[in-house]
Structure 1
């Protein structure tokens, strides 16, 4: 999807409620190597690779590589263990989280007590990656098709994207990138590194990974934090509706912040919401130039030479994820408002233009392959999509229903690999359990990608004996990377197993 690449994204993406049988927790076998060989790969960072089965049902079959990056604990005498981290996406690289977020992670108390470890998920760059021909991934398509012809044009592009992956040589990984397989990889990493109890913090889609790991291996856990909750019991409209509403609510929070704060570059714009809507209409009628995308020295190169209104809306979803300076490389909402001003009033949408791919690996390719193995196939027709577009325009007038799920619903319709991990409730697996240390669930009240409804539903599925839910009374996607009360509560939980009471509301 189009990403606002000036921002450091720790996140991203996201059947009707199912009461499927619980996943079996037995029948896992892994023979670890005698020793994991760590090498220095950056300042304060060590790297290693681990071989795991491509297909966990055939543990002696073909092997793939899981790349790992680690920041060793600063205080070895007080070391608690490994803390595994996952940035979500799906398809984002844990190695990039460790390297790009190194200074932030080393500034936290976690650095004193844990070897902070990022195992790169299968299918992502660094580990054995999904590979696809970039040509169809660089093709545009009608984002909100209004006719049968436009609908078929969109489907053809998405069909060609899937086929471009099937047709790559030595790309068996494409068929085995579901989140259950990744959860088993985490267990292999845990065993290979000494069989210590699992400590884990997952962000956004990484919360689904953490929940499914807990479902499979409940007895191997010390502490689990899920920050920015994905609800894997939802799919189709049941996923799209809350996500698009969460995006709309967060954009309204941005407009309100902008009206009250002179640090917003658009502070003096009268009736900014209406001006924004007109800008999106204008960009859909005549795409906004993106001159930096043609400049090889630009940090956004290569990207499309202009951006439509709908493309800007999808990139803007990522932008409003990060209100605070420490989470955005251009200063959170302050910096983002400057980029939006540049697009609205200086005719330069470079920051919002979609990426172009020059190689056969990339975030979008992994993102699609993983999500489409975790989600059922929608059966939208052109009429359905037209109705969906009309509903989005009424229910969420600024964001128009556009977002990650809008894109993924269409992309996965004809994805060529089978669904391996369909949506279902966690409740059957956790019924009757009473975990010694409850999972800590964390969600912002105004989240544009994982709305609070997701967190409430996952908490109900797990039960309060197994998970406590706390809420940050603020905007943005995920909470740990904003240093405030929520950040400190997560630290206390991971270090001291001090579990906050469910319903705690943190004002930061």
Structure 2
């Protein structure tokens, strides 16, 4: 892939990394060295011990797993670039493996050791453990009666208790993002005390902002892609996220109408046909034949799918419109093919959720982390029904369903306490003048991190942050080639941040 001329070397970008003194009030004694071993062919892997409870730094320890793609050009190496691909609960190691070719073709690979630490509580590091049985129970996605509401709540309660009942599972109570940010500072100190270079996507952007709040003096460059606003509660995030999902679906419908590559291109009145399909699937669940086929990529999963259940996996699918880039399943062209199969061929296998067979899974980590970062709302059945009605009116194609609809429900009875409640970043950045501003990036039409969140976080950080907007659809921007991808690389390598409000076409 051809790069723009601004990636030519400059004295600033190629200068040896600087060091930063450890932030005050941070009690951690890093090891004298980190032992790296070969893994995943040409990658390197290592583990680092950190405190389970940062309030007791010399107490029980847990393990943080790290995977690295070494810099291609040792002479021009700038330093480590820590990457978090979001989730929460996703594996940065898997991200590096899946994106190996893409990352190795990037300019970042020339100048950085690209490092993917797996956050505490996730696979690779010390994981949270739960009994899979309750996590495989289905529940009403939009309870319409008190009985359905209690059925949903009982499943959610059982999921939390399935984690409480596991032996040696103290990590369950210490998975908040503040603790993860402190783990990343420990990693930075252990890796020769180099200044922090960080690229975070979605939840990773949230993690990056938490790190910046606590350790702003230890940062060289911080690029946050797909912004989460932690100054608002989970129930208040729900509305903007639901609207972002709805807007993205409208973009998808318009794309199908204009592009013959869409399998639904010839379907007249596609939005209304989609709505009718969801209604039908809620009354008569759609078959998912691949879920019983042990050779299938989606096995094991539920053998049929309701309309409301389709929304969660559809939201993830429309996140990546492009056919190329890390995370893409083939872009909207492939999503349209799967929707066509579900709507007209009675095969919704792609939209069926996985069934768990082990005591560690991404969703278990995902819920455990989120529920310690956002407060709980003790909704009544009536209040939940009202929210459901509001969602159906405000976002008629997606019915208000999405990640935060699910999370605000499951967190109601979650057993571990909220350790990192929502708060504004403004006090931490007021009066501060960072040498290199933080780079915030968001798509204009994002189904998971709406543009409103990015605008809010930029206001909280003030002149210490620059916001770049990609005029397009999808979730995050770096993982697809284009102007925004190049702007992020230019920032991380050359420390050049575009002006706030810059709009890029792709």
TM-score w.r.t. length of structure 1? 0.94
Alignment partners' CA distance in 1, 2:503 and 2:472: 10
Q: Does structure 1 residue 393 correspond to structure 2 residue 355?
A: no
Q: Does structure 1 residue 421 correspond to structure 2 residue 424?
A: no
Aligned equivalent of 1:41? 39
5+ residue gaps, structure 2 = 1-22
Deviations 1:125-160, CA, capped at 9 Å, x for gaps: 000000000000000011111111111110000000
Structure with bigger RCO (C-alpha 8 Å, 6+ apart): 1
Q: CA deviation at 1:380?
A: 1.1
Mapping for residues 269-418 of structure 1, pairs under 5 Å? 269-327=267-325, 328-418=327-417
Q: CA deviation at 1:187?
A: 0.5
Aligned equivalent of 1:125? 123
Alignment partners' CA distance in 2, 1:424 and 1:181: 16
Aligned residue pair count: 483
User: Do the aligned partners of 2:244 and 2:449 also contact (CA within 8 Å) in 1?
Assistant: yes
User: Do the aligned partners of 2:466 and 2:497 also contact (CA within 8 Å) in 1?
Assistant: yes
**Which residue of 57, 60, 76 corresponds with 2:58?**
60
Aligned equivalent of 2:261? 263
Aligned equivalent of 2:69? 71
TM-score w.r.t. length of structure 2? 0.95
Q: CA deviation at 1:482?
A: 1.2
Q: CA deviation at 1:44?
A: 2.1
Q: Which moved more, 1:42-51 or 1:487-496?
A: 42-51
Alignment partners' CA distance in 2, 1:126 and 1:236: 28
Alignment partners' CA distance in 1, 2:164 and 2:329: 38
Aligned equivalent of 1:15? none
Q: CA deviation at 1:103?
A: 1.2
Q: Does structure 1 residue 246 correspond to structure 2 residue 244?
A: yes
Aligned equivalent of 2:198? 200
- 3-state SS in 1 of match to 2:248: helix
Alignment partners' CA distance in 2, 1:356 and 1:163: 18
Alignment partners' CA distance in 2, 1:97 and 1:385: 36
What RMSD over aligned residues (CA atoms) do the two structures have, in Å?
A: 0.8
Deviations 1:28-56, CA, capped at 9 Å, x for gaps: 01111122111111122110111111001
Where has structure 1 moved over 6 Å in runs of 4 or more? none
- 3-state SS in 1 of match to 2:324: helix
- 3-state SS in 1 of match to 2:80: strand
Deviations 1:288-329, CA, capped at 9 Å, x for gaps: 111111111111111111111011011111011000011355
User: Do the aligned partners of 2:321 and 2:331 also contact (CA within 8 Å) in 1?
Assistant: yes
User: Do the aligned partners of 2:83 and 2:115 also contact (CA within 8 Å) in 1?
Assistant: yes
User: Do the aligned partners of 2:72 and 2:110 also contact (CA within 8 Å) in 1?
Assistant: yes
